[in-house]
């Protein structure tokens, strides 16, 4: 981690958007079976009904803020 700018504060090292993009890239390109059979990624797992749904990552800080404002628990 020391190779990155702002490595002293891991919470600001990458933006929320960057973390979401990295997580999606991992989910979209992970091989879960045979690559030659196209068994790659979360979209394929959804198509095969291994999972019933997949949702984008969310910023917990934003959700906590909204829950305080609206008095509703979200998460």
Distance CA 24, CA 18 (A): 10
pLDDT at residue 21, as a whole number: 87
Distance CA 67, CA 73 (A): 5
pTM recorded for the entire structure: 0.60
For 53-62, write each residue's pLDDT tens digit.
887 776 666 6
Distance CA 46, CA 23 (A): 17
For 5-53, write each residue's pLDDT tens digit.
666 776 677 777 888 888 889 999 999 888 888 889 999 999 999 999 8
Task: Judge contact between 53 and 62, C-beta under 8 A.
Answer: no
Enumerate the domain spans of the chain: 10-70
């Amino acid at each position: 981690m020391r190779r990155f700018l702002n490595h002293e504060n891991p919470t600001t090292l990458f933006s929320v958007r960057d973390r979401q993009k990295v997580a999606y890239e991992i989910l979209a390109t992970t091989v879960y079976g045979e690559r030659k059979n196209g068994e790659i990624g979360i979209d394929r797992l959804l198509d095969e009904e291994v999972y019933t749904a997949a949702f984008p990552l969310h910023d917990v800080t934003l959700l906590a803020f909204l829950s305080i404002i609206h008095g509703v628990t979200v998460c």
